[in-house]
């Protein structure tokens, strides 16, 4: 069934992939994006009559009221992503990541589906020994985590809503990000040949960006069985420590020199393993492996020169 889908932040890292995936699934897609990073990631979609672009800010309530009223499904991706970026401008982070979500959620009708992506960094500091499920208490450490958790609660307290607690995403995108852990580690292997790693035993879960896009489409197609609940969205066999991830990359780049030292800390204190069982039971399972992603990234990095990609 073709639907009208509104994607805010659709020119970003995830949105650039998701927008094309939604179009391929037969939907009509409108992207609202402020293009704050100066990106032109959706030019290749402009020939598609089912695609529309509006340059605007999600904090513009009048614009978002018009946009919300004209669509069947809302996917609010627009956000200041990552703890460092949010800490640089806390007011903007709160306005975009939380208040704008509250506004658009209250503007939509109960017949409109909203699929909201949050982050599994909301699980905060854990031992790394227990599986976090959707019932695990949320204890976000950073401002980024707190705004995303509060926005998720707002969405789930309203009808016709699904939220996805995304693992750390990896893979290539037209709006590339090098600050994401897998992308960063592979970039270091390919371009620098070495990496100094802190908190080497801290674990987290990972997921390919195209699996995330596929998961959003799955939510649209199976909403009746999924609404009203959060879902961890990650790769089942990718609960790895930083050291394990680096060693896996070294299998592809044998010359990759690794040094482990206590030189920094994760602002989100992410150290946990995640269960994606609920999402599997809802019929979706990520299928692109870390090895697939590493090979993809190494191929892509041959095409780019050092540039200011990243939100860090």
Distance CA 30, CA 139 (A): 34
Residue 119: per-residue pLDDT: 86
Please tell me which residue, 273 or 76, carries the higher pLDDT value. 76
Question: Is residue 126 assigned to a domain?
Answer: yes
DSSP symbol at 1 = -
User: Is residue 127 very low, low, confident or very high in pLDDT (cuts 50, 70, 90)?
Assistant: low
Q: How many domains are contained in the chain? A: 1
DSSP string, 259-308: EE------TT----EE--HHHHHTT------HHHHHHHHHHHHTS--S--
Q: What is the mean pLDDT of residues 12-40?
A: 96
List the strands of the sheet with 229-233, edge to edge: 51-55, 28-33, 4-8, 73-76, 113-119, 161-166, 229-233
User: Is residue 129 very low, low, confident or very high in pLDDT (cuts 50, 70, 90)?
Assistant: low
pTM for the full predicted model: 0.94
Question: Is residue 135 assigned to a domain?
Answer: yes
Q: What is the mean pLDDT of residues 243-268?
A: 89
Question: Is residue 191 assigned to a domain?
Answer: no
Q: What is the mean pLDDT of residues 54-81?
A: 96
Question: Is residue 293 assigned to a domain?
Answer: no
Q: Is the pLDDT of residue 268 over 50?
A: yes
pLDDT, averaged across the chain: 92
Residue 312: per-residue pLDDT: 46
Provide the CATH number for the domain around residue 211.
3.40.50.720
Question: Is residue 32 assigned to a domain?
Answer: yes
Q: Which domain holds residue 35?
A: 4-171+205-234+272-287
User: Is residue 175 very low, low, confident or very high in pLDDT (cuts 50, 70, 90)?
Assistant: very high
The position carrying tokens 């991706």 is 77
Q: Do 95 and 59 touch, CB atoms closer than 8 A? A: yes
- Percent of all residues in the chain with a pLDDT value above 90, rounded to a whole number: 81
Distance CA 79, CA 11 (A): 12
């Amino acid at each position: 069934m073709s639907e009208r889908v509104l994607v805010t932040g659709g020119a970003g890292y995830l949105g650039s992939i998701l927008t094309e995936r939604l179009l391929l699934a037969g939907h009509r897609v409108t992207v609202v994006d402020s293009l704050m990073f100066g990106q032109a990631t959706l030019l290749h979609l402009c020939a598609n009559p089912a695609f529309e672009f509006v340059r605007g800010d999600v904090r513009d309530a009048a614009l978002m009221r018009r946009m919300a009223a004209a669509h069947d499904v809302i996917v609010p991706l627009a956000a200041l992503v990552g703890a460092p970026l949010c800490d640089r401008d806390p007011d903007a982070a709160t306005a975009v990541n939380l208040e704008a979500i509250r506004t658009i959620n209250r503007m939509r009708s109960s017949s409109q589906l909203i699929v909201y992506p949050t982050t599994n960094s909301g699980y905060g500091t854990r031992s790394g020994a227990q599986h976090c499920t959707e019932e695990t208490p949320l204890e976000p450490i950073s401002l980024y985590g707190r705004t995303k958790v509060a926005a998720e609660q707002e969405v789930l307290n309203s009808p016709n809503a699904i939220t996805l607690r995304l693992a750390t995403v990896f893979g290539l995108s037209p709006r590339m990000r090098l600050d994401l852990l897998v992308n960063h580690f592979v970039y270091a292997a390919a371009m620098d040949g070495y990496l100094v790693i802190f908190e080497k035993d801290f674990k987290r879960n990972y997921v390919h960006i195209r699996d995330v896009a596929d998961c959003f489409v799955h939510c649209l197609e199976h909403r009746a069985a999924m609404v009203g609940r959060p879902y961890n969205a990650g790769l089942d066999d990718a609960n790895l420590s930083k050291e394990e991830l680096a060693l896996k990359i070294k299998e592809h780049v044998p010359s990759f020199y690794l040094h482990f030292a206590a030189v920094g800390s994760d602002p989100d204190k992410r150290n946990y393993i995640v269960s994606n069982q609920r999402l599997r039971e809802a019929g979706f399972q990520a299928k692109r492996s870390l090895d697939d992603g590493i090979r993809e990234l190494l191929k892509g990095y041959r095409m780019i020169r050092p540039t200011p990609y990243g939100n860090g």
